[in-house]
Amino acid sequence: MLRGTRILVVEDNYLLAEVICDFVTECGMQPIGPASGLETGLVHARETPLDGAILDINLDGRFCFPICNVLVQRGIPFCFLTGYSDLAMVPQQYRHAPLVSKPFEPEEMRNVIDMMLSGQFTGPLMRAASSKGRAATGS
């Protein structure tokens, strides 16, 4: 991973957001945020220099897809971090993004961030290896 890489963290659960930011820092990257909601995430997505983003799909009852739209327009890669097992709500145009299930394993997240930053997507909605078969419920 690239030292100093700027990763936007959008997660509405404050404790999990802090864990993700700490993890990003431990990997030598710079966390941006955390943004706890759609509006704050959109501001960062539009205005902040970014190299990638980790997005919770459900942000306090609102989907993160408007943030995805801005990131796609800017050419910034992203991955999803979610507790959902049914991913039918993800619009087709975002199904190329890697996905990590909550709770995440550090090695799994590291691999997904590497994949995201290198552009090595194997979508549609490619689940990280350790997320496959994991039963997940909303968040």
| pLDDT-above-70 percentage for the chain | 86
Asked if residue 53 lies in contact with residue 10, where contact means CB atoms within 8 angstroms, the answer is yes
Long-range contacts of the stretch 20-29 (C-beta < 8 A, 24+): 20/54, 20/81, 23/106, 23/109, 24/54, 24/113, 27/1, 27/110, 27/113, 28/1, 28/2, 28/3, 28/4, 29/1, 29/2, 29/3, 29/4, 29/5, 29/113
For residue range 77-133, what is the model confidence (pLDDT) as tens digits?
999 999 887 778 899 999 888 889 898 999 999 999 998 898 776 554 555 444 444
CA distances to 21, 133, 135 from 78, rounded to whole Å, are 15, 22, 23
- Token pair 């902040």 is found at 48
Specify the pLDDT at position 137. Answer: 36
> What does the mean pLDDT of the chain come to?
86
Task: Give the β-pairing of 78-82 and 99-101.
Answer: parallel
- Token pair 């983003």 is found at 53
What are the start-end ranges of the H helices in 8-64? 14-26, 38-47
More confident position, 122 or 10: 10
pTM to 2 decimal places? 0.87
Distance CA 118, CA 114 (A): 6
Distance CA 60, CA 76 (A): 24
Specify the pLDDT at position 138. Answer: 41
